[in-house]
Amino acid sequence: MINKQSLIDRFIRYVKIDTQSDDTVTDRFPSTEKQLELSNLLVKELKELGVQDVEIDQYGYVMATIPANIDKQVPVLGFLAHVDTAPDMPGKNVNPRFVENYDGADIVLNKELNVILSPAEFPELKNYLGQTLIVTDGTTLLGADDKAGVAEIMTAVEYMLQTPHFKHGKIRIGFTVDEEVGRGVDHFDVARFGAEFAYTLDGGAIGELEFENFNAASAKITIQGRNIHPGYAKDKMLNALLIAQEFNSLLPAHERPEHTQDYEGFYHLIKMDGSVEKATFQYIIRDHDRKKFEARKAYMQRIADYMNAKYSGGTVALELKDQYYNMREKVEPVYHVVSTAINAMEAVGVKPVVKPIRGGTDGARLSYMGLPCPNLFAGGENFHGKHEYVPVESMVKATEVLLKIVELYASK
């Protein structure tokens, strides 16, 4: 049996450390120094547990080794999670609280601010009747993305080192930074990590197993307008704000995140700034299908070309940048990493829910860097917001699944 209280204590200890990354910082890595507080704590705790080869490099990546305790050759497994939390929601002064034996009613997160976690808005709460939920105080995120994954890996490490009869091959542990800003493995040394394949514990609800994700790109559009006194503006003014609105109107309204699901892609307007003279706005572009993904980027370029023809060249500048690709192409050739995870879930009483990620993980990029890396559930719900929560029972099961994967490979 894993140490449930140790798992809970770790999670609470980790979420109280502010590790918010910053998507506006591009001249240093990690984007925020405060992420290193948790990274360094993990180094200390790993050493205290007796883990070997514990190191933190110049980029803040933590790597460590649990040596094999069996003689036969089995694959070197890796398990990874990220320490940072999302940049668009406060991660400081996190004050988690416990809802014991959840009864299915509304949970008042913050009475003063009228922040309610309600099954009317979040019907999946009904899946956790009778369980213990860890919730926010309604002013910050919780940080289960991905400190639940961090705590689960650390608890599994503790179990392996304190349970001599548990047989396993060589295990590599990794903790990354800046995942939430899309740069989590920019400097990750796959060869140094030395695993044959790995799993990220960065998924959501219990049972989730993902080996497909979006192809992803960012788009930044700059509109150069022409500001003229409004009293004398006829046939002279170019209002950058209105041109930006026109650009957005040419994208299909039904292909926004709020209208899509499953394998459906989207264009998502995430930021807009400006004035009559100049405006900038940013999108993220997502699609599971590579051809559709490329078509989405091409369509956005056609809009820019059309508007430059309409308003004169140089009015609209479009900058497209690929971020990551669908890991399925790299995972399918070693599908045993998926089937073994399915078998592990079933063995510990978890129903596998194999589904595409409507997002991305470090594992997506690592798969293209030579380390096939599907994503396992960490147990949280409503990531990146004040309604985030995690059932303790889901965290326990995630830890059990990790250990069962290790056990299954050791027994092959």
| Amino acid in position 236 | K
CB environment 125-157: b (16+ within 10 A), e (fewer): beebeeebbbbbbbbbbbbbbbbbbbbbbbbbb
Give the DSSP H or E segment for 299: helix 290-311
Cα separation, 361 vs 75, in Å, equals 23
Q: What is the DSSP letter of 127?
A: G
Is omega for the bond preceding 333 within 30 degrees of 0, making it cis?
no
- Structure tokens that stand for 374 in this block: 């599907």
Cβ–Cβ under 8 Å, residues 397 and 153: no
Catalytically active residues are: 84, 179
Residues 6 or more apart whose CB falls under 8 angstroms from that of 82 comprise 146, 149, 150, 175, 176, 177, 178, 179, 180, 184, 202, 362
